[in-house]
Structure 1
Amino acid sequence: MFPFIKFYNLTSKGFLDKVYPYRKTLPKELRENLVKYFLNPNNQSNKKSKGIDSRIIAIQHAELISKWIDKLEITDEMKNPYEFKLILRGSRDGFSPNKFHEICDNQPHTIAIIKVKDNSEILGGYNPIIWKSDGNYGVTKDSFIFSFKSKSNVKNYVLSQVIEEELAICNMVDFGPTFGFDDLAIFGTDFYSGSCCNRSDYEKEIRETNDEFSVEEYEIFQIMKD
């Protein structure tokens, strides 16, 4: 039952009334992370953010990604949070490169969120420029890729900034959202089954393995501010 509860979208009162009485039934790591989160007043001040329509990440992931975009420290407060507008969901729109490019080409400021099949990993990347299908690379100094070990622990992450600006964004027509040569490469005919992460043009590895993986779900968000 726990994967379907959006814990981090709750207010402190909602957590106290609806979750805390049943805390002993929660996995220990999740329970401790939730208590720390809802005891932190900075997290509650950020409830003014607009929420996120995601099956993969929660609001606290979106807030952290927003800070990375604005190059803020983790402890900094965002006075005007980004809105994450869902424009593609694999389980709704399909897992083909054609559909990705049909929906996402020419859309600036997008976040790709990928749930790896058969484990708890979440991968993603930020593209501040537009996606294309021209077979060339998009140039930017502001893109980054990242990973979270699981949805329940936002603090366990890897953030990797682009180092080869000329190769930041890969615009291959047969690929989904791809960053660098294959730092985060999403491709394959069946649920992007040939996807992989091999460090090349970004500063860090975001996975502990270079093995190929399949995509269980993926979402593309366009970010904007009022």
Structure 2
Amino acid sequence: MSEIQIWERILKWGLAQNPELPSDFRNFSQDDFNKLKNTLQRFIPLIKFQNLTSKEFLDKVFPYDKIFPEDLYKDLLRTYLSLSDPNSKPKNKEKIDSAIITYQHVELISKWIDKLNITDKLTSSYEFKLLFRASRDGYSGYKFHKTCDNKPHTVTLVKVKNNSFIFSFNNNRTDNYILSRVMDENYAIRNRKYYGPSFGKSDLEIWNFTVNYCKKASYEKPIRDSEDYFISDECEVFQIVGD
């Protein structure tokens, strides 16, 4: 199913949840848009709008601008206004096969890789190649090591159960994050046979993909407020491929 079909189905479902709304969006009041926004707010960040053509965006997304988070919509608008071909897609907004992040997070991580500030313009383009997904490949250290060992230039993503994204992403925002770079390079990565991806002496330890642990040791900053054990919903590892 294409991304535009996913959007159309979600939009249709959202409208069906609010049968009192006018059948023509051109007759929507601000309250009507707010109702639809509240219904779809959980799903909008999951849709990869960057995979739409500019015509699809203009015809199917633009009319519903009032239901989008302001920052997301401004970013999409800037992107699609720069395209001259109505059938083209954004060049720098590559599709990412992730159950955790969207392309906004990809841009932020790419800036971290290039050691740029969040407000700097991104000049590099990276492909995020999925190597491992716990829900797909298995919640085990064996599966992780089988697919990820000896693969250079990787990024590990962990989604914490009943919480925000570990490392950075709080409630789908990319401006509220913790960036912690390694201090002791001897412990940048902790390679343990039966563990999942682990970093530092104890900075992030994925034990069995359900019980995990964080305690600042080898990196600049703690990445969690608590040193209690935590449970993860998902873990993904991507190999970063440059231009």
Q: TM-score range by the shorter chain?
A: 0.7 to 0.9
Residue 203 (structure 2) aligned to one of 183, 193, 196:
183
8 Å CA contact retained: 1:38, 1:44 = no
8 Å CA contact retained: 2:80, 2:90 = no
Q: 1:81 corresponds to which residue?
A: 125
8 Å CA contact retained: 1:116, 1:217 = yes
8 Å CA contact retained: 2:54, 2:80 = no
SS of the aligned residue for 1:185 comes to strand
In 1: Cα distance, 2:81 partner to 2:227 partner? 35
Q: 1:140 corresponds to which residue?
A: none
Give the counterpart letter for 2:216 in structure 1.
R
Give the counterpart letter for 1:18 in structure 2.
K
Residues 42-94 of structure 1: CA deviation (Å, up to 9, x unaligned)? 99689322321111101111111111111123233333301111111111101
Residue 155 (structure 2) aligned to one of 105, 111, 119:
111
8 Å CA contact retained: 2:50, 2:90 = no
* Percent of residue pairs identical: 51
> Which runs of structure 2 are paired with 1:163-174 in the superposition (5 Å)?
163-174=183-194
Residues 26-52 of structure 1: CA deviation (Å, up to 9, x unaligned)? 4xxx62232332355699689322321
Query: How many residue pairs are counted as aligned between the two chains?
Result: 195
Instruction: Say what the alpha-carbon RMSD is for the aligned residues.
Output: 2.6
User: Which shifted more, 34-43 or 68-77?
Assistant: 34-43
Q: TM-score, normalised by structure 1?
A: 0.75
Residue 239 of structure 2 corresponds to residue 219 of structure 1: no
Structure-2 change in CA distance of 1:44 and 1:59 (3 Å)? farther
As a proportion of its length, which structure holds more strand?
A: 1
8 Å CA contact retained: 1:8, 1:58 = no
- Following superposition, the deviation at residue 113 of structure 1 comes to 0.8
- Report which of the two structures shows the higher radius of gyration computed on alpha carbons: 2
8 Å CA contact retained: 1:37, 1:43 = no
Residue 36 (structure 1) aligned to one of 40, 52, 74:
74
Select the structure with the greater relative contact order (CA < 8 A; seq sep ≥ 6).
1
Structure-2 change in CA distance of 1:35 and 1:168 (3 Å)? same
Q: 1:96 corresponds to which residue?
A: 140
Residues 88-114 of structure 1: CA deviation (Å, up to 9, x unaligned)? 111110110011011111111001111
- Runs (5+) with no aligned partner, structure 1: 124-145
Q: TM-score, normalised by structure 2?
A: 0.70
8 Å CA contact retained: 1:12, 1:38 = no
As a proportion of its length, which structure holds more helix?
A: 2
In 2: Cα distance, 1:102 partner to 1:77 partner? 37
Residue 178 of structure 2 corresponds to residue 158 of structure 1: yes
